[in-house]
């Protein structure tokens, strides 16, 4: 269970709530008490149309919280960044994994992660956050996402990232229509055949709004349905804002699937 901690002013569902260190720490503590196994710390929003931030600004936001978070929290911390320069600094500061929504687009990223012997989440995205939802098109979304993830996993392995530290993520909502998202979720058993644990992030995303006709603050039940389904279909890790409800849903889905709790952890 990965709990989301966004120290951004503009994230799509929790922007501005945890920009103060005290509020961020308290939220992390609550997520861990509720059952988060990993905290994913992000300082640059990737919502459609988001403004890119400089490496210096991203690092300022991250380092302000990372040190107290590492001192305070007993679970691994991943940092959601696509910049190798940022990754190098946060890994030096002690974080355990990099969650890269561009799956190693930055040519130096794989080497930086390998050198730190850290975990890597490699996510599929079509385009950039600024452009990705402008008429995304695929011939065969599942095959294209699978091939891209396979190629990026190879890149990670060649750079020396340990196989058991790599997770793959089809990138729900990143350059995908509603139908693409549903097809990818339906195809998790096929994506799992790549042989890496799958991480799935559906929490409060707009495809849930399209299905339920709910605003972002009212997508809890939709999130839970998508979390349970993802776990049942093969997700090893789910990335969520509301950890408590997702933990219950995951326990039930995991038990029905017949899986072992704790499988697919970043450590
Ligand atoms: N989704 C978001 C951000 N990072 N990382 C992975 N691996 N998978 C995801 O699905 C994913 C991700 C978007 O969600 P959120 O962090 O809540 O919003 P924002 O990007 O606006 O901060």
User: Could you report the per-residue pLDDT of 147-173, keeping only the tens digit for each?
Assistant: 999 999 999 999 999 999 999 999 999
Where does the pLDDT of residue 262 fall: very low under 50, low under 70, confident under 90, or very high at 90 and above?
low
Whether 121 is in the pocket of ligand 1, judged by its Cβ within 6 Å, is: yes
Where does the pLDDT of residue 51 fall: very low under 50, low under 70, confident under 90, or very high at 90 and above?
confident
Where does the pLDDT of residue 261 fall: very low under 50, low under 70, confident under 90, or very high at 90 and above?
low
- CATH number of this structure's domain 2-257: 3.20.20.20
Query: Average model confidence (pLDDT) for the chain?
Result: 93
The percent of residues above 90 in pLDDT, for the chain, comes to: 82
Q: What is the pLDDT of residue 104?
A: 98
Residue-wise pLDDT tens digits, 39-50: 999 999 988 878
Per the CB < 8 A criterion, the answer to whether 189 and 229 are in contact is: no
Residue-wise pLDDT tens digits, 103-158: 999 999 999 999 999 999 999 999 888 777 777 899 999 999 999 999 999 999 99
Q: What is the pLDDT of residue 263?
A: 53
Per-residue DSSP letters for the chain?
-EEEEE--S--TTTTTSS-SHHHHHHHHHHHHHTT-SEEEEESS--STTPPP--HHHHHHHHHHHHHHHHHH-SS-EEEE---HHHHHHHHHHT--EEEETTSS-STTHHHHHHHTT-EEEEE--SS-TTTTTSS---SSHHHHHHHHHHHHHHHHHHHT--GGGEEEE--TTSS--HHHHHHHHHTHHHHHTTSS-BEE--TT-HHHHHHH---GGG-HHHHHHHHHHHHHHT-SEEEES-HHHHHHHHHHHHHHHTPPTTTT---
Residue 259 has pLDDT above 90, yes or no: no
Whether 81 is in the pocket of ligand 1, judged by its Cβ within 6 Å, is: no
Whether 42 is in the pocket of ligand 1, judged by its Cβ within 6 Å, is: yes
Q: How many whole angstroms from 266 Cα to the centroid of ligand 1?
A: 17
Ligand 1 pocket test, pick from 4, 38, 81 with the greatest ligand atom count within 8 Å of Cβ, gives: 4
Q: Whole-model pTM?
A: 0.94
Please state the domain extents for the chain. 2-257
Q: How many whole angstroms from 201 Cα to the centroid of ligand 1?
A: 7
The percent of residues above 70 in pLDDT, for the chain, comes to: 97
Q: What is the pLDDT of residue 12?
A: 81
Whether 129 is in the pocket of ligand 1, judged by its Cβ within 6 Å, is: no
> Taking Cα atoms as reference points, which of 69, 78, 1 lies closest to residue 40?
78
């Amino acid at each position: 269970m990965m709990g989301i901690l966004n120290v951004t002013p503009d994230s799509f569902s929790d922007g501005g709530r945890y920009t103060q260190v005290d509020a961020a720490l308290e939220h992390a503590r609550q997520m861990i008490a509720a059952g988060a196994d990993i905290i994913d710390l992000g300082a640059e929003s990737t919502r459609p149309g988001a403004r890119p931030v400089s490496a210096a600004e991203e690092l300022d936001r991250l380092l302000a919280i990372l040190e107290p978070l590492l001192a305070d929290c007993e679970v691994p911390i991943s940092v959601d960044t696509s910049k190798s320069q940022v990754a190098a600094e946060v890994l030096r500061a002690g974080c355990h994994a990099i969650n890269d929504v561009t799956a190693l687009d930055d040519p130096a990223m794989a080497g930086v992660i390998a050198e730190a012997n850290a975990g890597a989440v490699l996510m599929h995205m079509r385009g950039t956050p600024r452009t990705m939802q402008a008429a995304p098109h695929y011939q065969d979304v599942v095959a294209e996402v699978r091939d891209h993830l396979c190629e990026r996993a190879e890149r990670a392995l060649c750079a020396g990232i340990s196989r058991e530290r790599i997770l793959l993520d089809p990138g729900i909502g990143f350059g995908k229509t509603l139908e693409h998202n549903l097809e990818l979720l339906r195809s998790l058993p096929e994506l799992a055949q790549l042989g890496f644990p799958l991480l799935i992030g559906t929490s409060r995303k707009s495809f849930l709004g399209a299905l339920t006709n709910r605003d972002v603050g009212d997508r809890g039940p939709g999130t839970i349905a998508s979390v349970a389904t993802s776990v049942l279909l093969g997700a090893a890790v789910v990335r969520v804002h509301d950890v408590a409800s997702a933990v219950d849903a995951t326990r039930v889905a995991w038990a029905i699937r017949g899986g072992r709790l704790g499988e697919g952890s970043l450590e």
